Amino acid sequence: MDNDVAGTRTLQQVIQSVPTSDGAGVKLRRSLGRSQGLRLDPFLMLDEFSSDDANDYIAGFPAHPHRGFETVTYLLDGHMLHEDHLGHRGDLKTGGVQWMTAGRGIIHSEMPQQEQGRMRGFQLWINLPAREKMKPAGYRDLQPPEIPVVPLPGGGRVKVIAGTLVLDGQSTPGPIQGLTTDPLYIDVELLAAATFSHAVKSDYNVFVYPYEGSVNVGPTGAARPLDAHSAGALSAGDRIEVTAGAEGARLLVLAGRPLHEPIVQYGPFVMNTREEIEQAIRDYQSGELTRPAA
Ligand code: MN
């Protein structure tokens, strides 16, 4: 029993989200990445956007560059169109995910396709290892039917975006697999007072982000409360345990293999050294950022 408790991760750090805006004035809440000390390797940033007021999102994210990492957009409600310099168009609708690998360079726009109604979702930035930062750009658009939904015993459910969910010996692989950072990205819905428990690799970094309701994180007896719209970074251990409050909860659970590499970020460029950032800026200005590899 003591071993079990020792193996279940506890809530170590709460990173509250703060209101900010990005793109052409889209209002959002940033938790991870709101300052450079508040990352959780390999996760660089988490933004949540949620509004029923078109003024908060209608301006969208006009054309802008990225280099050196991946962006994952998960739309809970709404309709966004992604277009990039390679001619890709991705139509992101309620329940869909776009997994974009910026690699050596992409210039894209992310624009709302609705003039009213609710727009709600997340953008997560995941780092790439040094040896993959300059690989060709690419992306995957995942429509809702490609994202498995696993019912939980007694109610609630889990959507598996990346990695593999294992419940009662039953494995459910998500559509995104085989990345160096090996992310687990799941969206968990819990009924009131229900507990979700799942294995995680003990050397991975893990955080949870409730976006509806509140949760208690950690083993029975050592659980600590975490309110909605805050990222909770967990201690070491090989299991997570989350219990919903009296109103039930919806939360993201993220786990990933840390890269343990130096990070130098300048806006939309995330590299390992200052020189590589200066190169990225020069490449963007000269058009080299998006020139096809020879
Ligand atoms: Mn972008």
Q: Give per-10-residue mean pLDDT for the chain (294 aa).
A: 63 96 91 93 96 89 95 95 90 94 94 90 98 94 97 95 96 98 98 97 97 96 95 96 97 98 96 98 92 68
Rounded to the nearest whole angstrom, what is the distance from the C-alpha of residue 236 to the centroid of ligand 1? 32
Rounded to the nearest whole angstrom, what is the distance from the C-alpha of residue 57 to the centroid of ligand 1? 14
pLDDT, residue 290, reads 83
Rounded to the nearest whole angstrom, what is the distance from the C-alpha of residue 127 to the centroid of ligand 1? 14
Rounded to the nearest whole angstrom, what is the distance from the C-alpha of residue 262 to the centroid of ligand 1? 22
Rounded to the nearest whole angstrom, what is the distance from the C-alpha of residue 63 to the centroid of ligand 1? 8
pLDDT, residue 103, reads 96
pLDDT, residue 2, reads 37
pLDDT, residue 4, reads 42
Closest CA to 14 of 199, 234, 273: 234
Q: Distance between CA 278 and CA 9 in Å, rounded?
A: 39
Rounded to the nearest whole angstrom, what is the distance from the C-alpha of residue 31 to the centroid of ligand 1? 17
Rounded to the nearest whole angstrom, what is the distance from the C-alpha of residue 62 to the centroid of ligand 1? 9
pLDDT, residue 294, reads 56
Closest CA to 185 of 152, 158, 212: 158
Rounded to the nearest whole angstrom, what is the distance from the C-alpha of residue 66 to the centroid of ligand 1? 7
pLDDT, residue 3, reads 38
Kindly list the distances between the CA atom of residue 29 and the CA atoms of 20, 229, 278, 288, in Å, as whole numbers in the listed order.
6, 8, 29, 33
| Fold of domain 11-256 | Jelly Rolls (2.60.120)
Q: Which are the contacts of 286, defined by CB distance < 8 A and separation ≥ 6?
A: none
The string of DSSP codes covering 197-236 is: EEE--TTSEEEEEEEES-EEESSTTT-EEE-TTEEEEE-S
Kindly calculate the radius of gyration of the chain based on its CA atoms and give it in whole angstroms.
Answer: 19
Rounded to the nearest whole angstrom, what is the distance from the C-alpha of residue 255 to the centroid of ligand 1? 22
Q: 194-239: per-residue pLDDT in tens?
A: 999 999 999 999 999 999 999 999 998 899 999 999 999 999 999 9
pTM confidence score: 0.95
